[in-house]
Every structure is written in C-alpha cells, then in structure tokens.
Structure 1
Amino acid sequence: MKPFITGHEDLVHDIKYDYYGRQLATCSSDLMIKIFTLSASINEWELTDSFKAHDSNIVSLDWCAPEFGRLLISGSYDGLVKIWEETSTTKAINNESNNNNKGNWQLMAKLSDTRSPVFNCKFSPSFLGLNIGVIGHDSQLRVYYCSDPSNVSSWELKESYNLIPEGFSQPVAHLQSDYSLDWCKSKFLEETLVCSCLDLLSFMQKDPLNNNKLVKILDLYDHNGLIREVAWAPSMGRSYELVATACQDGYVRIFKVTGISSNGSDEVLKKEEHETENKMQKYYKLYNSQNFKVELISKNNDHKGEVWSVAWNLTGTVLSSAGDDGKIRLWKQSHMDHFQCVSVITPDK
C-alpha cells in the first residue's frame, strides 16, 4: 500500500476509481473534487483536475459506466446532486457563465429535490439504463432517469420512496444519522436495491404488477447501530446474491440473498432444472419468483471498533472492510459459506 498526498484541506469523505481503475476521484469538506490519473511511466497518481463543486461538505461520488461517457456524480450537504461530464466541447448547464467550467469537467445538471443533506448517490448498473439513486437526510430514496444518454443535462425524477417505516419518526437534524444504497448487479433479478436507513436494512424491488414501481419487499432489523455502508457483490454466475454492511456496532455482516423460500420452492427449482437445459433461464425463473429470502451467513467484529466502509472486488469473491482500528481487512468465503479474514493491510505511517 502506497500513500499519496491528495492536497485536500479538510476531511476526505469519499474516493472512487473509474471503471478501468486508471482515474481516481476524491471529495472533501473543503468543497473540492480532485481527479487523479495513474501515470503509466512512473506508476504514480498525478493530479489532473481540481475544482470547487459544492457549497458544503461533499460526501459521495460515483463514476458512470463507460458506455454512457465520462460522467461523475457528487452529493453534498448543500442538498444537491450534481452531474459532471469530462469534455471540452459540451455546453455547461443552462449556458451559465464559465464558473461552471472546471478544467476538463463541466456541470451538466443539478438534482435538487432532496432539499436536505445528501448522504449517498450512485449510478445504476448499465443494463438498467442511465439511472441515479439518491438518499438524503429526509429519508427519501429517489431514482432519477435520463432517457437520452446523449443529453445528460435532462433528468427526470422517476420515483420517490420513504424509507422510514410507518410508526417511526424522522431523525432529528442535530443527531448523527446515516443512509446508504447499492444496486443489485445481476441481470437475472428484477431491478433491486438495498438501502440502509439508520440501523434498518431494506430491500426494494421493481414490481411488474404495479407499473414497474419500486416496492419494499423486506426490512431487516439485525443491526445494533448506524449502518455506515452497504455493498452488493457482483454475482459472476452464482445462484445467489451477497450483500455486505459496515456498522457502527463494530460488525461486518454478510447476507445471502436468494429467491428460494422455505415452503417447498426447492422442489419446484429441481423440477425446473430437470425441465430446462438453459441454465440462465433457470436462474431467471428463480430470481423472478415472488419469494425473497435473506439470510445472515457471516458476522465478524475483528476491527474491534466502528466499521465505516465495505467494498467487493470485481468478481464478488473478496470483501474489504475498513474500521476505526486503522486497518483494511480482506474477507473470503470458506467452504461452509462463512467469511473469514484472510489478510490485514496496515497503511505505512
């Protein structure tokens, strides 16, 4: 592990690689976004762009899939989500002044429906189209859609959903709170998201019988503190999905998500396996069943303190976690499904 100086003048809240791992974006409480490019000749990260992006703490970043161009989104406590495009020719939003021209990056759109601090914003997988999921302090999950990827200045609010369960009150503004979201990476499951709302984990799925709107299909109350981050693993041919959470209570949790219920669906699946020679079709039938099962398969507190971040590798076989112990831990699945820590990385001081 090789540290480098970002040049930020305050806390760095998020850092994201682009699709190819050749560029790195960072955001900070200093209101700046910085873009670094990996130099092939000296294998060092070089600062290529730096610009003021918001009027308050910037806490979330995400890169778009490359088939939609060079797009970056940022979410801030100023209540805005902004879409940036790396280009030297496209006109900035509303033909505003050159203040929106940030070197190679131009502001293409502002999403302002939240009107409260934005905690997390993410692009959907590319096979779902050009979508953005946003969660803010108002506890609303908002999904935006761009119908014309060639014109990324035009976005529509597709739907909004209140994540606070009925009977629960909205968190008080001065108290600490946290929200996060991630999209299911599988093409064989209906459009699905996992969202964390304080200490509650919720699964949302598109319902073809209800105008293809997202509906909440499951709530989990297994956490004993604020959920700092959720991460949905790439499936890579597995017959089930994996979701990891980082929690304030010190635990890294990993959940197994399947479409099999305990009411005899296993026999139905075996019958489908016998009747079809198309393996992908079998998975499609499995995932699009009305049954949805989430099982906690691993729970570890090796960090001995608050866990702040979790992330999967590209194949969904290794999970990394970071916590208050100042270490990064790598987890791999054993033959018994349980995840074990296989490596501990300590940054050089």
Structure 2
Amino acid sequence: MSNKKPTNGPEPVKHGFQNFEFAAADIVLAVSFNTAGNRAILCSADHKIRVYNIDGNTAWTLADVWRGHDAEVLDVQWIAPSLGPFFATIGGDNKFKIWREEPSQLYKSGRRFRCIYSQSAPNHGSYVSFGTKTIYHNIFLATLTHDGLLSLLQPEDSESESLTSWSQKDSIYPFGSHPRGTEARFRLSIQQSEGPASNALFAGIDANALSLAVSAMSSIKIYRAFRQSGNYQFYEMHDMHTDTALINDIAWAPGCLRPYDVIATACDDGTVRVFRVDTPHDSDGSSRAPVAKSLQPPGPPRKSSIAARNAPSGIGAGLAGMSRTSAPRRDMVNEVKHESRQVAILEHEDKQPVWKLKWFHDGSTLASTGDNGKVYMWRENIGGYFVEFAETEPA
C-alpha cells in the first residue's frame, strides 16, 4: 500500500533545469526569451528553429519546429515586442530573416511561423552578429558581416507594422578591410536604454542618438549614430582594448540608473571583462547644443542608399562605390570626450573560453557561459564591484 499522501489542486512548480521536449538533434547555438518570459526560441546547427511555450508555469512544451535556414542557425532575437510576436535569425547560408507568428496555423504544423523578410549579406559574405532596438514604434536594426561591414536599417514604412521592407541608413567598416580567410570575431551590441546615459546627454550627445559597441579580436569601438538630413550616420566616439584577450561576445548593459555606461566582454582566456565608459562634462549641459545638431559632415550631402541594385529593401545600396580602406569620417572625440577603464575581471574557474553574455533587465546582473556548459551569474554591488552569486550546471 502506498504511503504517498493524496494532493488536491495543481502539482507544485518544478525548480531547476528542464530538458526541452524534442530538443535539437545537434548543438544549440543560441536561445532567446521573450519579454514576458513565457516563450523561448532555440536555434541549432541542424538548420532548425524551435519555439517553446511555458505550460501553466510548470513545463515548457514544443510549439513548432521547422527548417529555418539552409545551414546552421547562428543567432536569434525577439524584436519589436510592442508590435507582436516577431523575431529575427541569421544563418550560415548568408541569410538574415524575420519571422512572424501566424495564429491561423496549427501548433507543431511547421507553418506556425512565417518568414516575412529575407536578405542576403552584401559582398557575398555572411552575417555574424546583429542587434535590434525599439523606441516606441521606431525600430532599428544593426547587422555585422564576416568581412566587418556594419549596417544600420529601419523599416521603409515607419507607420506600418508589417516589417516586410527595410531601408539602409548607413554602412561602414569600423576595422577596415578584412579579406576572406581571416577570423576577426566581429560582434556588436546595441544600448537598449531609451536614450544615452545622463552624463552623455549633459556632455552634448543628442537624446535621439543610437549607441552601440563593436568588437574585433581584442579591440572595442563605441559608435553613436546621429540623425542627419533624415538618415542616421555612424560616428566613432571611443576605442578601448582588453590587452591581449580575444573577444567572443560583447554586451552593453541596459538600464538608465547609472549616469555612465557599462560594457562587458566574453573573452577567450576564460574571463569576463567589464568596462566603465564615462563622458566627462563641466556643467549640466543646459547651455550646450546637442552634437547631432551642431555636426557638419564634410563633403557634399550624401545620397540616400535606399535604391539597391539587387535588393528592393535597400540593404545593398551604395556598396559598389564604397571603399573598405577609405578615410574615416571626421571623428567626434573633440565634440564629446569619452573615457573608459576596466573595472572588473570575472573568472570562470576552469579558464575555458567564455562564449556568451547576457545582461538581465535591471542592468546590474550578468550571466555568462563557456565551454564547460556552466552558467555563471554575477551581480554588481554597491560601489560598482561585481561578485559571483550563482553557478549552475545542467543535471
């Protein structure tokens, strides 16, 4: 006779790790959770995308699985949460794709999510990193290719919620020419706060500027994109380094509680290096004109790059006449000074390479993972010190 006591009501919530039903047949390369935390996307080396829903806060169940790319699916991110269930992926087939849920289709039918936009990487390269940012209904997309091309795009119709057509606003090579066969480990991260940090605003950065960090090898560059004559343009603001540690991932901390910015890097030497970026200023900035309004780009006005040769969306426009080794634009170091310093070196115990970083929404908690499969979690304490508060390992 069983001694198990009968229970009335739902089963208790299970804590700890859970194996996903019908998990990938090959290595999982990226995971993205939606804002509510009740839906997750897994992309893997078996060319497939898997979407899971949480069932009554107790278990994750498969919603749909399908072949998303003709090669490994390298990265995935939810985008534009205010518009609905959209997400984007990049694959080893040189494609960037945007997907939208079709409620009329059945779950597990392979057709629940439909590709509404697909774009090949310019110059016959491949996408290695991308990031998105949504401010109210304004959506921005930044992409980075294997040869180092950084591009900024927006939907062609800002009033539309379809996201089926995009136009390129600007493209540059932050680190110059990188021919095929070289591995520079390019990565990018967009600042997710509504606007620049308060000190940056006081120093003269326009409130509508976009901020992002780009890394290659052991170098990190900070860019601000300012709106000029209807188009955004990239300007390099600062350059910093991790000594000799090679960078595998980069993450700009969200949140607006700090008056300065924090950027973390996942490095090949088994460390997570955290940088503080300041924009010193002499006053509250009330008498200083924003940089975006005072900037006068050299040379004649730039032509819009919307009319692409082979891509209606305009992502490849203007690339034919663009030189990878052309002189850089007038830097803005004299306009707004940026200073950086390394404030923390967080070590994985086995010194194995760290591959992925993710900031929590509060901007003070960071998760990292490496070759050993463990997830390390770090928290910033009062005084700006980062300490490890959790270390988890799948059963």
Equivalent residue, structure 1, for 2:249: 229
CA contact (8 A) 1:36 1:46 kept: yes
Distance in 1 between the 2:237 and 2:53 partners? 41
SS in 1 for 2:26: coil
Residue 92 (structure 2) pairs with residue 77 (structure 1) = yes
Equivalent residue, structure 1, for 2:291: none
Residue 66 (structure 2) pairs with residue 51 (structure 1) = yes
Q: How does 1:309-328 map to 2 (within 5 A)?
A: 309-328=356-375
Distance in 2 between the 1:337 and 1:81 partners? 38
* Aligned with residue 16 of structure 1, among 26, 32, 38: 32
SS in 1 for 2:283: helix
Give the alignment's TM-score, normalised by structure 1: 0.82
* Aligned with residue 379 of structure 2, among 301, 316, 332: 332
Equivalent residue, structure 2, for 1:296: 342
SS in 1 for 2:274: strand
Distance in 2 between the 1:208 and 1:53 partners? 34
Q: Which runs of 5+ in 1 are unaligned?
A: 91-100, 276-288
Taking only the aligned residue pairs, the percentage that are identical comes to 22
Structure 1 residue 71, shift from structure 2 partner: 0.8
Distance in 1 between the 2:354 and 2:126 partners? 22
SS in 2 for 1:67: coil
CA contact (8 A) 1:180 1:228 kept: yes
Equivalent residue, structure 1, for 2:142: 133
Return the letter of the residue paired with 2:149.
Answer: Q
Equivalent residue, structure 2, for 1:192: 211
Distance in 2 between the 1:171 and 1:9 partners? 33
Equivalent residue, structure 1, for 2:47: 31
* Aligned with residue 190 of structure 2, among 183, 188, 200: 183
Deviation string for 1:211-252 (max 9, x for gaps)? 641112122222524311111111242211211110112210
Q: How does 1:272-287 map to 2 (within 5 A)?
A: none
Structure 1 residue 308, shift from structure 2 partner: 0.8
Equivalent residue, structure 1, for 2:113: 105
The 3 A distance-change label for structure 1 pair 128 and 238 is: farther
Distance in 2 between the 1:236 and 1:144 partners? 24
Return the letter of the residue paired with 2:250.
Answer: V
The 3 A distance-change label for structure 1 pair 74 and 344 is: same
Aligned residues: CA RMSD? 2.5
Equivalent residue, structure 2, for 1:67: 82
Larger radius of gyration: 2
Comparing both chains, which one has the higher relative contact order based on Cα–Cα distances under 8 Å and sequence gaps of 6 or more?
2
Residue 151 (structure 2) pairs with residue 151 (structure 1) = no
CA contact (8 A) 1:128 1:191 kept: no
SS in 2 for 1:68: coil
The 3 A distance-change label for structure 1 pair 325 and 11 is: closer
Distance in 1 between the 2:262 and 2:133 partners? 17
Structure 1 residue 185, shift from structure 2 partner: 2.1
Distance in 2 between the 1:247 and 1:229 partners? 7
CA contact (8 A) 1:180 1:229 kept: yes
Higher helix share: 1
Equivalent residue, structure 2, for 1:93: none
Return the letter of the residue paired with 2:96.
Answer: V
Return the letter of the residue paired with 2:189.
Answer: D
SS in 1 for 2:383: coil
* Aligned with residue 117 of structure 1, among 94, 118, 126: 126
Distance in 2 between the 1:30 and 1:223 partners? 36
The 3 A distance-change label for structure 1 pair 127 and 184 is: farther
Structure 1 residue 339, shift from structure 2 partner: 1.2
Return the letter of the residue paired with 1:111.
Answer: Q
Deviation string for 1:113-165 (max 9, x for gaps)? 33322211222133482221111212111122103332311111221111224
Residue 97 (structure 2) pairs with residue 86 (structure 1) = no
Return the letter of the residue paired with 2:112.
Answer: N
Return the letter of the residue paired with 1:32.
Answer: K
Distance in 1 between the 2:242 and 2:100 partners? 39
Equivalent residue, structure 2, for 1:213: 233
The 3 A distance-change label for structure 1 pair 176 and 170 is: closer
Return the letter of the residue paired with 1:156.
Answer: S
The 3 A distance-change label for structure 1 pair 89 and 44 is: closer
Equivalent residue, structure 2, for 1:204: 223
Distance in 1 between the 2:50 and 2:93 partners? 18
Give the alignment's TM-score, normalised by structure 2: 0.73
Distance in 1 between the 2:46 and 2:227 partners? 44
* Aligned with residue 171 of structure 2, among 160, 163, 182: 160
SS in 2 for 1:214: strand
Equivalent residue, structure 1, for 2:259: 239
Residue 274 (structure 2) pairs with residue 254 (structure 1) = yes
Equivalent residue, structure 2, for 1:346: 393
Structure 1 residue 102, shift from structure 2 partner: 4.3
Return the letter of the residue paired with 1:27.
Answer: C
The 3 A distance-change label for structure 1 pair 334 and 344 is: same
